[in-house]
Structure 1
Amino acid sequence: MNGKRGRILALSLSLCLVVGIGQAQAAPKQQPRPEIFTNLLQCRTITDNSARLACFDQQVGAMDVAAQRDEVVVLDKSELNRTRKTLFGFSFPKLPFLNGGDEEDGDKPQAEGVTHIDAVIASVRSLGYGKWQIGLEDGAQWMTTEAMTARDPKPGQKIELKRAAMGSFMGKVEGGRAVRMKRVS
């Protein structure tokens, strides 16, 4: 296999993997695939080698242009998981690529998504009355909504944040008791 054909095949396979992440485990009702992706897949049906290669060249070029224009975004699974963790605590509509399903149509989310994160405290600011604003190393800002009575949180300590009932969150700083928290930025 020559270099150009190998690169096209590798790009096509990685694209199939990326676009197919949500569909590989999807419920019976699948999301429609983007036209640019289906055009690329149609190249596989061409039997003439040179025509098939020309089709792949053209469609991969179109995909590259679309990516440069931010019309298509390509994420691998580890990037998607990092994004889910970064967005932990925010409220979003149910998006298929963030493990949301359309429950009214009988689809269930593929997984519960991120249910907790372990992080390190980068900064703390007292809000008075035992409440704190806590900054994490990734830049996320959380605020306690009830007083922390045992010990004051300090930079460098570990914190565990978990989903709780009714869309709320609980945070527990190294050895302390869990308190209700909310994401502020």
Structure 2
Amino acid sequence: MNARLLLVISPLVLTPVAYAQSGDSPLQPLFECRSIGDDAARLACLDAAVETLYGNAESGEVVAVDRGQIEAAEESVFGLTLPNFSIPGLGRRNGGGEDDLVEADATAHSPDRIVHRTEDGDIERIENLSVTDIEINRAGDVVVTLANGQVWRQTDSTRIQGIRSGVRPGLTANIRSGALGSYFMRLNNGGRWFRAERVQ
């Protein structure tokens, strides 16, 4: 996700480069104008702050996206090993590419999915992800391709019964995070949880 993201203003998120390190809000100049008692001076302050914000938006230094886009982007990078950063109001997040932020749409491929988050806002588990393909590689590991384009590979020796290579209509997967950046997957065929890593 775009590392410039910083401040959540529901339903908008304003994301300036300059504020990503300082921790200040790009709206702080607007907020400071509220304390000015004189009407004319307050209006002049607001005009100046809005003009600055507008210029930053025009230059691309500030970007506005809605909360749904952020959450979809987080789902799209779930399982990838990327630097973490914090967005106030949403908790800690996994980063990703800029395109993920504006184009990710997890609901398009798995509309029945259920996303569980921790109190801090981290994705803890995603259920009912549609599976489009199963492959058994040369090492005997199960490789699962999801409808959202993600590819996950088994990394342990758990025996997964009833699985064979090919398309399996109606098959879904649950994925949960574990300790130390690990992930576990279970298919809805009644099998066991197995350790997996995202490879794409």
| Interval of TM-score (by shorter of Structure 1 and Structure 2) | 0.5 to 0.7
- Structure 1's unaligned 5+ residue stretches are 1-13, 21-30, 102-108
Q: Label 1:155 to 1:72 Cα distance change in 2 as closer, same or farther (>3 A).
A: farther
Match of 1:134 among 109, 125, 144: 144
Moved more, 125-134 or 46-55: 46-55
Count of residues in Structure 1 that have an aligned counterpart in Structure 2: 154
**1:48, distance to aligned residue in structure 2 (A):** 4.0
Give per-residue Cα distances to partners, 1:116-168, cap 9 Å, x unaligned. Answer: 11211133333234323222222222111235531226254110001123321
Residue type of the partner of 1:81?
E
Alignment correspondent of 1:181: 196
Q: Secondary structure at the match of 2:34?
A: helix
**1:169, distance to aligned residue in structure 2 (A):** 0.8
Q: Indicate the structure (1 or 2) with the bigger Cα radius of gyration.
A: 1
Match of 2:91 among 77, 81, 99: 99
In structure 2, what is the Cα distance between the partners aligned to 1:152 and 1:68? 52
Question: 4+ runs of 1 displaced by more than 6 Å?
Answer: none
Please give the TM-score of this superposition, normalised by the length of structure 1.
0.65
Q: Label 1:180 to 1:72 Cα distance change in 2 as closer, same or farther (>3 A).
A: same
Q: Label 1:145 to 1:73 Cα distance change in 2 as closer, same or farther (>3 A).
A: same
1:52-63 to 2 correspondence within 5 Å? 52-63=42-53
Alignment correspondent of 1:3: none
**Contact 2:177/2:184 (8 A) holds in 1:** yes
**Contact 2:13/2:67 (8 A) holds in 1:** no
Match of 2:125 among 116, 120, 128: 116
Q: Label 1:112 to 1:58 Cα distance change in 2 as closer, same or farther (>3 A).
A: closer
**Contact 1:158/1:173 (8 A) holds in 2:** yes
In structure 2, what is the Cα distance between the partners aligned to 1:76 and 1:96? 17
- Structure 2's unaligned 5+ residue stretches are 1-7, 15-21, 94-117
1:67-106 to 2 correspondence within 5 Å? 67-97=57-87, 99-100=91-92
Equivalent pairs: percent with the same residue? Answer: 25
Q: Label 1:91 to 1:41 Cα distance change in 2 as closer, same or farther (>3 A).
A: same
**Contact 2:176/2:183 (8 A) holds in 1:** yes
In structure 2, what is the Cα distance between the partners aligned to 1:16 and 1:56? 21
In structure 1, what is the Cα distance between the partners aligned to 2:147 and 2:135? 15
